[in-house]
Structure 1
């Protein structure tokens, strides 16, 4: 009876998820295995068989590849911190306003802009602040404002800030007004309330948002490829050049090693984000 009950419980809990898990295993597991195999495969000399080793991984952690990896990490960190701070202040200002229409409008627009990226986003910014952009020509601004590290960071913030608004808004709504009233009635200042109550409560959601924005900026490719090209060294652009034979010929396995490095960093990011997300979800109840 106990075994039958256990099977019934498993069937109700995991049974419906088996098809989804199977699709995920095929769609993500097989490419991941092939990528790892290629990353550890060392091509032999002409006429000699390939072997397995760590040469590609070692090369991916040396220049010039290491520089692109560090540049991507730096760009992602700037976008994550800047987007998290700006998005949090914007969400707080909207949620504390008395206009329900403003709140719904901002959240709706944020949902659209958070998923807007790629080549169309690059085109909009090039047409606006590019060398011949409308604003650049109209205001007589100098060229080169957009095609650099900070220009790319500004473009990434275009979709990162709305994403942070969506992430942090439920957590801000979880801050009960009674907590602030109790703190103020006890003689606490506004800063003391935020330092001792508000920020600790929001910390999991804030850190989770930072990690999420970091991962989004770290993996972005199309926008940077269409806008800055090789003027800003990024690991995603380096991987594309190596795989397509553009500039780099015969370095396909090194590109796979770089992809494996990105997967490891992404796993570390998710390892931080998921526990924080579970902890912050209790404030949504």
Structure 2
């Protein structure tokens, strides 16, 4: 206690309370990093290990070599890899060309209900694939499908179980995916740009050629790459529909793992998976910079 001039005892000031140290923000992402490491890291390491491992069938000894990667780029495996790249490229190009005008029609529609209905349906159809999609097309456009029989499509050379038949099936989910991808970019086109072009005497074609398409080019290329990756990774639809009629790398991987063609080719299947990962990595390396460039234009 201390005395003051007025004679009243006053307690000394209390010591300041210790401030708690703030919790680092990066701790919040630790669970996500752990999950990612377990769900993606462990399989990736197992794939890398198997892709470079050869097991002697006689002794059971394992050794590291690049023989599996060499085998994955030869013969039927190389044909399947190039077939997947060709199918994905053609499907992605057609999906981009058909999805852009459809997305433009949706974005410019005056009916909010129509716009929301189409975008919702696109979100559903973009994720509709696998065996149900294959069954739907087989029942509709297969050799004994409803439309095939009524329209006599086989007389005109139609074959669903072919390269172009598979392209049409892939477009069923690639076009809606393109609509979802390009719609935000189309909504970012400012009306002032069109008005300025019209005031300077530009036609609609000139506006799209010199203004809209250059601005949308990064988004269009990004959507094309995204569609390519989606088609490249598809498996169940092609497996249920064409089997081995169309050479695809995903089908070759399944055959090698199950031993349908040759026994003991599991590590070659892992090498094929590594080839797919490298192609997907190249796709993402192209896609991400395009998305960032498009975001700067349309922000």
Q: Shorter-chain-normalised TM-score: which range? A: over 0.9
| Counterparts of 2:211 and 2:77, CA distance in 1 | 44
Tell me the distance in 1 between the aligned counterparts of 2:158 and 2:195: 50
Alignment match, 2:255: 241
Contact 2:106 2:115 in 1 (8 A): yes
Contact in 1 for aligned 2:189/2:298 (Cα 8 Å): no
Work out whether 1:110 is the aligned partner of 2:89: no
C-alpha deviation, 1:21, in angstroms: 1.1
Match of 1:39 in 2: 51
Choose from 47, 55, 62 the match for 1:50.
Answer: 62
Q: Report SS of the residue matched to 1:191.
A: helix
SS of 2:150's partner is helix
With over 3 angstroms needed to count, the CA separation of the structure-2 counterparts of 1:260 and 1:67, relative to structure 1, is: same
TM-score (norm 2): 0.89
SS at match of 1:36: helix
Contact 1:215 1:266 in 2 (8 A): yes
2:181, 2:223 within 8 Å by CA — same for their partners in 1? Answer: yes
Residue 178 of structure 1 corresponds to 192
Q: Residue 228 of structure 1: CA displacement? A: 0.5
| 1:138-149 → structure 2 map (5 Å cutoff) | 138-142=150-154, 145-149=159-163
User: 1:262 offset after TM fit, Å?
Assistant: 0.2
Which runs of structure 1 show a deviation greater than 6 angstroms over 4 or more consecutive aligned residues? none
**Are 2:228 and 1:214 aligned?**
yes
Report if the CA contact (8 A) 1:130-1:144 is conserved: no
Deviations 1:77-97 (A, max 9, x none): 001110011111101122223
Q: Normalized against structure 1, the TM-score is what? A: 0.93
Considering only aligned residues, what root-mean-square deviation do their CA atoms show, in Å?
1.5
Q: Structure 1 or 2: larger helix share? A: 1
Q: Which residue is equivalent to 1:164? A: 178
After superposition, residues 4-83 of structure 1 pair within 5 angstroms as: 11-12=24-25, 14-44=26-56, 46-47=58-59, 49-83=61-95
Where in structure 2 are there 5+ consecutive unaligned residues?
1-20
Indicate if the aligned counterparts of 1:160 and 1:213 stay in contact, CA closer than 8 A: yes
Deviations 1:102-145 (A, max 9, x none): 21111111111011000000000000001111111122221752
- More deviation, 88-97/189-198: 189-198
1-structure distance, mates of 2:261, 2:59: 25
SS at match of 2:153: coil
Structure with max Cα Rg: 2
